[in-house]
């Protein structure tokens, strides 16, 4: 039996800030290093971005020996790619994650093989830089479950399985000022499925545009309904936007369409972006934000301080709000670093004329600390868990201005 070893998605990281020419040179150097690790009859292919496939041939019929040869090749590749790459006299760090699959006499399509190697690569990435993982039966079970759930997710919208819950946001007077819309999925087979599981899945299978579009549409419909209720017409509704959703070329048009169809007031809609979406094309990000703000939509930077924070982003982007991540709020009473970060974010936000809101507020002590450092907007279990629309309406009535 002949075995073939496949090294898939060896993701050498390069920085788009190099510019296209240096970025291309970086990838060329990565390719040359990969080619130096294989024989003349073996294959190295770049399949997109910074992902490569390496195909090793004629490994022999002995499982142990073929596996050992593949392992040696993977370790050699990771070692080579961990060495700095010099571009125009400057050394740039490089690292890689590798997913590996051995192919015997089993029949499988190229798509399935790549999918399996891809899954192993993501497992490797989760372990840190310069790591590898072999595809195994447990990963196959995970992949099967993911594919099944992906099919279920595609049917969720038509099957009325999705709904929105609302977590109140509280102002300086401890009155409700609005809410954050949070997506929930109750599957007839699996029950309630965590957004932390199905939102990344939607991004991987290319379903995030449809899912995000549904959330926007339903949020605008709810916001329009609020505008007809006396004690709710001044409330704002915050909607999370995923990076892949925001990167869609027609994202701005999608938001405008949802507002127009529902009749919702734009000035009551707030979009929450994450820092990770700011590192791609800041010019495009700024253009989209400016277009949204032109019609009155507010923009909040979510989970501030946990990702790619840069004063340059805050200076160039027309933001309205910074949101202190719950990880800092949770630790700030017991961790001096968490307290210092929270205080710095508040000071920074105020100096730039931005509102600052803290999420994950669970105790009066946390609220009082935040008030003392000048944070006057809050969200968390101290006030309410995310609740269905009719419960939020009752909550807003009890906590109206």
What is the longest distance spanned by two Cα atoms in the chain?
Answer: 76
| 14 or 70, which is more confident | 70
Report yes or no on 318 lying in a domain.
yes
**Which residue, among 195, 181, 185, has the nearest Cα to 160 in the 3D structure?**
185
Report yes or no on 92 lying in a domain.
yes
What pLDDT score does 11 carry? 42
Q: Is the pLDDT of residue 5 over 60?
A: no
How far is the C-alpha of 401 from the C-alpha of 397, rounded, in Å?
9
Are the beta carbons of 212 and 245 closer than 8 angstroms?
yes
Residues 190-195: what's their mean pLDDT? 88
Q: Which of 135, 156, 180 is the last residue of a domain?
A: 135
**Which residue, among 357, 328, 332, 342, has the nearest Cα to 180 in the 3D structure?**
357
How far is the C-alpha of 234 from the C-alpha of 222, rounded, in Å?
13
**Which residue, among 279, 281, 284, has the nearest Cα to 307 in the 3D structure?**
279
Q: Is the pLDDT of residue 185 over 80?
A: yes
Report yes or no on 142 lying in a domain.
no
**Which residue, among 271, 337, 348, 342, has the nearest Cα to 313 in the 3D structure?**
348
Number of domains in the chain: 2
Report yes or no on 19 lying in a domain.
yes
Report yes or no on 140 lying in a domain.
no
Same domain, residue pair 367 and 256: yes
Domain that holds residue 108: 4-135
Q: Which of 135, 156, 186 is the last residue of a domain?
A: 135
Report yes or no on 99 lying in a domain.
yes
Q: What pTM did the predictor assign?
A: 0.68
Are the beta carbons of 173 and 371 closer than 8 angstroms?
no
Same domain, residue pair 161 and 207: yes
Q: Which of 106, 135, 164 is the last residue of a domain?
A: 135
C-beta atoms surrounding 242 within 10 Å: 21
Residues 13-23: what's their mean pLDDT? 56
Same domain, residue pair 353 and 305: yes
Instruction: Residue 88: give its domain's CATH number.
Output: 3.30.70.270
Same domain, residue pair 177 and 127: no
Report yes or no on 371 lying in a domain.
yes
Report yes or no on 143 lying in a domain.
no
Same domain, residue pair 23 and 69: yes
Residues 302-314: what's their mean pLDDT? 69
Q: Is residue 246 helix, strand or coil?
A: helix
Instruction: Residue 241: give its domain's CATH number.
Output: 3.20.20.450
Same domain, residue pair 70 and 181: no
Give residues with Cβ within 8 angstroms of 269, minimum separation 6. 219, 220, 223, 236, 237, 239, 255, 259, 297, 298
DSSP code per residue over 105-146: S----HHHHHHHHHHHHHHHHHH-SSEEEE--HHHHHHHHHH
Are the beta carbons of 325 and 345 closer than 8 angstroms?
no
Same domain, residue pair 130 and 159: no
DSSP code per residue over 289-312: HHHHHHTT-EEEEEEETSS---HH
Same domain, residue pair 392 and 322: yes
Same domain, residue pair 253 and 306: yes
Q: Among the listed ranges 47-51, 145-149, 246-250, 375-379, which one has the minimum average pLDDT value?
A: 145-149
Same domain, residue pair 115 and 167: no
Same domain, residue pair 208 and 130: no
Same domain, residue pair 128 and 232: no
Confidence of residue 144 (pLDDT cuts 50, 70, 90): low
pLDDT in tens, 336-371: 988 999 999 999 999 999 999 999 999 999 999 999
């Amino acid at each position: 039996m002949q075995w073939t070893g496949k090294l898939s998605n060896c993701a050498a990281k390069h920085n788009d800030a190099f510019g296209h020419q240096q970025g291309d040179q970086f990838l060329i150097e990565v390719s040359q290093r990969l080619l130096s690790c294989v024989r003349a009859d073996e294959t190295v292919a770049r399949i997109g971005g910074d992902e490569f496939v390496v195909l090793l041939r004629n490994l022999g019929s002995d499982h142990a020996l073929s596996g050992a040869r593949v392992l040696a090749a993977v370790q050699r590749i990771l070692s080579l790619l961990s060495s700095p790459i010099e571009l125009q006299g400057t050394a740039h760090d490089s690292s890689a994650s590798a997913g590996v699959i051995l192919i015997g006499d089993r029949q499988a399509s190229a798509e399935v093989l790549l999918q399996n190697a891809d899954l192993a690569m993501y497992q490797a990435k989760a372990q840190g830089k310069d790591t590898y993982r072999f595809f195994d039966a447990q990963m196959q079970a995970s992949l099967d479950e993911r594919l099944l759930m992906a099919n279920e997710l595609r049917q969720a919208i038509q099957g009325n399985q999705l709904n929105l819950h609302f977590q109140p946001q509280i102002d300086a007077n401890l009155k409700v000022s609005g809410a954050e819309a949070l997506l929930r999925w109750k599957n007839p087979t699996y029950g309630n499925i965590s957004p932390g599981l199905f939102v990344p899945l939607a991004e991987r299978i290319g379903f995030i545009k449809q899912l995000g579009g549904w959330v926007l549409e339903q949020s605008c419909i709810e916001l329009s309904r609020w505008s007809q209720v006396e004690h709710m017409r001044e409330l704002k509704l915050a909607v999370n936007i995923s990076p892949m959703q925001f990167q869609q070329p027609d994202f701005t048009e999608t938001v405008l369409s949802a507002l127009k169809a529902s009749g919702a007031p734009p000035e009551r809609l707030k979009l929450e972006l994450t820092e990770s979406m700011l590192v791609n094309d800041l010019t495009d990000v700024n253009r989209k934000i400016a277009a949204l703000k032109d019609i009155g939509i507010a923009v909040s930077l979510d989970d501030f301080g946990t990702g790619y924070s840069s004063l340059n982003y805050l200076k160039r982007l027309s933001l309205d709000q910074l949101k202190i991540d719950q990880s800092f709020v949770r630790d700030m009473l017991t961790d001096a670093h968490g307290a210092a970060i929270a205080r710095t974010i508040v000071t920074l936000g105020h100096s730039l004329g931005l509102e600052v809101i803290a999420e994950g507020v669970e105790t009066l002590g946390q609220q009082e600390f935040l008030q003392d450092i000048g944070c006057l907007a809050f969200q968390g279990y101290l006030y309410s868990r995310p609740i269905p629309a009719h419960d939020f309406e009752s909550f807003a009535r009890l906590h109206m201005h």
